[in-house]
Amino acid sequence: MEMTITTQNFEEEVLRSEKPVLVDFWATWCGPCMRQAPIVEELAGEGYSVGKVDVDQEPALAQKFQVMSIPTLIIFKDGKEAKRLVGLTAKDTLKALMDE
Which spans of this chain sit near other proteins (rule: CB under 8 A)? Answer: 27, 29-36, 55-56, 62, 66-70, 72, 84, 86-88, 90
Q: Is 23 a catalytic residue?
A: no
List 5, 33, 53, 55, catalytic entry: 33
- DSSP per residue, 26-71: E-TT-HHHHHHHHHHHHHHHTT-EEEEEETTT-HHHHHHTT--SSS
Q: How far is the CB of 96 from other proteins (least distance, A)?
A: 13
List 6, 17, 27, 30, catalytic entry: 30
Nearer to other proteins, 36 or 49 (CB): 36
Total Cβ atoms within 10 A of residue 90: 11
Q: Is 7 a catalytic residue?
A: no
